[in-house]
Amino acid sequence: MSKKRSEARRSRNAEQAEPRRMRRTLEDIREEKGPRKYTLTDCMRFGRIANILFVVFIIVCLIYYYSLASKGNYSTPFEVIAYSIEIIAFLLFTTSVIWMERLVRSRKIMKFLMILYIIVEVVLMLLEFHLLPIRSYNGLSVALTVVHVLFSAGVSFSLLLLDPMNKKLQWIVGITTCIILAGMLLAIAGYRVYASILVNAFAYIFFFTAMEYQLHLEEIDVDCYGDSAKVQSFESTLFADTPTMIEKPTAEKKTLREKAKRLAEDLSSDEQIILTDKDEKFEYEFGVEEDEDDEDDYEDGADGEDEGSR
């Protein structure tokens, strides 16, 4: 019995370890692909264009349904153009999110919420224009609008995971979230839920535009698959005669044995007096002091010469 239990436990552990191995393999495959053909800036640009199209679609539909359609003047070409704009907007937004999911490392919560946000927006749009057969749906429900606004604000706040410690990203996400939360005022005023969707579109237009600008300035750094960033330190010579930027050499790491050997060599080596250029210059200008014995010999020799001459 114990042998059977151990075998069952091993097989269970093997089954649990295999998905982990698969996840690591997927991460390795994404890393080995290297830089993508698209960048994070492209994701922001597509997201901005998509939300601009959302605004155009909602405004056009409001004018159409509250002016022409309310009087019975329906226009099939007009509806085809309007819904084509909406489809293009969702395709661009989905492309932006998928590219971001493939580019950015980790951030699984943010990626999941962004995909879920697109699904929720698609369902709400279909319900608002009566394209889904759900009779119990009420677009004027204040509770529905409040839940939608809070969910959208949570999705917006998750974008802070792109670079959590960056102050500029914190401001961008904060302003975007505040604009989204302002959609609750429209629910209190009695507007339908697509009014909050319109507010969300304006908020994300601001977010994607600001992010694209900050990425262009390289003020925000997001780690993506395929990055091979190398941190280098530079030493400035701004106040030199010819200001340049010189790369500061990195110090070589030495082991404890090498340090002990170097210290022993320093202690055992004989001291050597080296005459520097400054010493030579001093001797040339001021001369060298002679020893007292040399001076005595010189004086004795001079006295002997004087006596001999006499």
> pLDDT digits over 202-224, tens only?
999 999 999 999 988 888 888 77
Give me the pLDDT at residue 236, please: 45
* Dmax (CA) of the chain: 150
20-43 average pLDDT score: 65
**Prediction pTM value:** 0.62
Q: Which three-class secondary structure state does DSSP give residue 103?
A: helix
Angle at 274 between CA 270 and CA 278, to 5 degrees: 155
Least confident of 58-72, 232-246, 277-291: 232-246
Neighbours of 115 (CB within 10 A): 15
Residue 110: pLDDT band with limits 50, 70, 90: very high
pLDDT of residue 166 exceeding 70: yes
Give me the pLDDT at residue 96, please: 93
Give me the pLDDT at residue 259, please: 72
pLDDT of residue 90 exceeding 60: yes
Give me the pLDDT at residue 300, please: 54
